[in-house]
Structure 1
Amino acid sequence: MPPRREPRRSAEPSFPDVAQLGEAIATAIQSALCLPQMTLLETMYNLKLDKFESHEGFEGAERWLKHIEKTFRVLHNQGNLPVEKWVETTSWFLGKESSSWWKQEVCPLTPEERTDWEVFMQLFRKRFVPPEYIDCKKQKFTELRQGKLTVNEYYWRFTDLSRYYPEVAANPGEMLRRFHLGIKKKWRSIATTLLKIEDSKNMPSESEEEEKDGNQRKYDKSKGHASLGPRKT
C-alpha cells in the first residue's frame, strides 16, 4: 500500500481582511485623539484670566469686566457655559477685597438676581466704574480733535470713546458729523463725502415723494379742496 501523502500547503502567508484592518486602525487613531473632558473650572483657568483685586483703577476695572464678558460669550456660543453660570464663574476670579464686596451685595438680592449677569454688571460698574468716570470719557469724546494724531490713531480713539455715548454711536450720521468736526481740514473732504452719502440714504426717493403727493391730493379731494398741483415738500 503506497504511503499516504499530506495535503500541499500554500507557501503564501495569510493576511487579515482589509476592511477589518481599516476599522481597527481608525478605532486606534480615534482613541488616541480623544482628550479627557475638562471641567468648567479647569477650562476657565486654562484661559489664564486675571483676578480682579479692586485696585486696578477705573480703566482697569472696565477692561477686566469687558474681557470677562467677551470670554464668557465665546464659551457660551460653543455650548460650554450657560448664561446662568456667568456670575458664579466670575466669583472665582474676584480677589479678596472684591470678593468681600460681592458677598455684601448678594445679601439683599433675590435668587434670580444673584444669577443675573446684567445685575452683576450694573453693581460692578456702580462700585468700580462710577458715573463720574463715564462723564469724563463723554467729555473727552466731545472735545476730541485730531491734533498731532495720525488719521488711524484719531479714528481708533474716536470709536473707542464713542461707546460711552451709546445714543450717538447708534446714529451713523451724527457719528460722521462729530468725526468731521475733529479731523484736520485736509481730511475733511473725505468726511464730507461720507456725510453726503449718509444724508442721501436718509432722504426720501422720488417715487416716495410722488406717492406722498398722490396721497395728499386724494386727501384734499375727500375734504372738498381742489388740488392745485404738486404739493411742496
Structure 2
Amino acid sequence: MTRGRQERNADRSNIHGDQDRCFDGGHDLADAIHQMTETMKQQQEVILRQNQQRLLIENRGCSYEKFLIHRYPNFMGTEGPMKANKWLLDLDRTFEISSCTEKQKVQYAGHLLQGEAGIWWDTKRQLLIRELGNITILTWERFTEEFDNRFFPESMKTQKAQEFATLVQGNLTVEQYVAKFMELGTFAPHLIATEKMQAQKFQAGLNPRICSYVAGFHIHNFQELVNVAAIAKAK
C-alpha cells in the first residue's frame, strides 16, 4: 500500500514537472514573439521617418537663390530649333541636380524666357490658366510639350531624323563628324537602337579611306570605333 502511494506521488510530481516545463516553454515563446514585434515596430518607425524626410525634401525642392548659382542662360526665342532643344535638355539636367519640384521647374523656366520667348510664354500662360484653372498644377511635362510645339516642332524633329539617316563625314573632321552624329542621333534612335547598329551607322558614313582602314578591325563598339577612326585620320 505504501508502495502504491509512492507511485501515485511520483506520477503527480512528473505531471507537475511537465506542466512547469510547458509553462516555461510558453513563456519563452511569448518573449520571442514580443521581441520580434518590437523589432518590426522599430524598423517600421525608421522607414516612416526616412519617408517623411524624403517627402520633406521633395516638397521643399530648391530655392530660386540656389537655382541661380548655376547661372543658367536665358532663352530669347531667336536661337533656332536645335539650340532651343539643347537649352531645354540642359535645363532639365540642372533641375534634376537641384532637386527642384514640378512647380519650381515651371516657375524658374518661365522666368528664363525673355524677349520673343517671354512674350510667347505670357500669352501661353494666360491660355493655360483658362484651361487648367490654376497655373500651379501645370506639370513640367506639359511645359516642355508646349515649349517644343513652339520652338522645336515635330516637323523639325522629322527633318533632323532625315538628316541623320543620310549623314556622312564629307568635309568634316572625325571629331566634327562624331559631334554631328551624336547630336542628330537623338532624333532617330531607331537607327542606332543597339551598340552594333550605332557603330555600323557611324562606320558607313566615314570617308572611304578611313572606312576601309577601320573595316579591317571588325569593331562593334562605338567608342572604340571612334578612337580607331581618329587614329586612321592621323595616318
TM-score (norm 2): 0.57
Partner SS for 1:56: coil
Contact 2:167 2:181 in 1 (8 A): yes
Contact 1:84 1:116 in 2 (8 A): yes
Which residue of 102, 109, 112 maps to 1:93? Answer: 112
- Residues 79-158 of structure 1: matches in 2 within 5 Å? 81-95=100-114, 96-107=118-129, 108-109=131-132, 114-158=137-181
Q: Partners in 1 of 2:160 and 2:191 — Cα distance?
A: 14
Q: 1:45 and 2:64 equivalent? A: no
| Counterpart residue type for residue 106 of structure 2 | V
Change (3 A) 1:134 1:93: same
Change (3 A) 1:112 1:101: closer
Partner SS for 2:78: coil
1:56-75 per-position Cα deviation (integer Å, ceiling 9, x unaligned): 32223222212211211111
| Counterpart residue type for residue 59 of structure 1 | M
Q: Partners in 2 of 1:56 and 1:157 — Cα distance?
A: 18
Which residue of 186, 190, 202 maps to 2:214? Answer: 190
Q: Partners in 2 of 1:88 and 1:187 — Cα distance?
A: 49
Change (3 A) 1:113 1:181: farther
CA positional deviation for 1:143:
1.5
Structure 1 unmatched runs, 5+: 1-38, 199-233
**RMSD of Structure 2 on Structure 1 (CA):** 2.7
TM-score (norm 1): 0.57
User: Paired residue for 1:65?
Assistant: 88
Q: Partners in 1 of 2:134 and 2:191 — Cα distance?
A: 36
Change (3 A) 1:50 1:104: same
Change (3 A) 1:146 1:87: same
Change (3 A) 1:174 1:109: farther
Q: Partners in 2 of 1:134 and 1:113 — Cα distance?
A: 29
CA positional deviation for 1:112:
9.3
Change (3 A) 1:109 1:177: farther
Change (3 A) 1:139 1:72: same
Q: Point out the structure with the larger helix share.
A: 2
Identical positions, percent: 24
CA positional deviation for 1:84:
4.5
Change (3 A) 1:54 1:149: closer
Q: Partners in 2 of 1:165 and 1:177 — Cα distance?
A: 15
